[in-house]
Amino acid sequence: MGEAKADVLLGTLDLLLLKLLELGPNHGWGLAERLEEVSDGVFCVNQGSVYPALQRLKRKGFVRSSWGVSENGRRARFYELTGGGAGALKDELARWARTAGAVEQVIALKPSTSEARG
């Protein structure tokens, strides 16, 4: 059976974008490509999701943008993390760690004989 690409989990795109922007400024297309690259192709995010998320983060003051030239010579809007965004990233990473830990606890459950009969 082939590996399927996964949608980014609901509510995690902002976290993933903030984390990628922690590495340095980038444009929307570059962020989508980087996310697919670092997730070994598991996460494939379309532009219809990336740009609204970046605008949402900008409205919250977590990122700022400026015009620049991309690596292929095209004019592009580059986004970078703000101080507020760095704080939000720290909070989101802590929340994610709690969530992932809770999911792991549920996944690790083993059925008892009485639960298996249900």
Instruction: List, for residues 54-88, the tens digit of each pLDDT value.
Output: 999 999 999 999 999 988 899 999 999 999 999 99
For residue 68, what is the enclosing H or E element?
Answer: strand 63-69
**Quick one: pLDDT at residue 1?**
39
DSSP 41: T
More confident residue, 95 or 118: 95
Percent of all residues in the chain with a pLDDT value above 70, rounded to a whole number: 87
Confidence of residue 112 (pLDDT cuts 50, 70, 90): confident
- Asked if residue 55 is part of any domain, the answer here is yes
Order of strands across the sheet that contains 26-27: 26-27, 75-81, 63-69
- Asked if residue 74 is part of any domain, the answer here is yes
Asked if pLDDT for residue 3 goes beyond 60, the answer is no
Confidence of residue 7 (pLDDT cuts 50, 70, 90): low
Asked if pLDDT for residue 13 goes beyond 80, the answer is yes
- Asked if residue 88 is part of any domain, the answer here is yes
- Asked if residue 41 is part of any domain, the answer here is yes
Domain residues for 82?
13-108
- Enumerate long-range contacts of 20-25, CB under 8 Å, 24 or more apart: 21/63, 21/79, 21/80, 21/81, 21/85, 22/81, 22/86, 22/89, 24/80, 25/68, 25/78, 25/79, 25/80
- Asked if residue 92 is part of any domain, the answer here is yes
In the chain, the number of structural domains is 1
- Asked if residue 6 is part of any domain, the answer here is no
- Asked if residue 118 is part of any domain, the answer here is no
CATH number at residue 28: 1.10.10.10
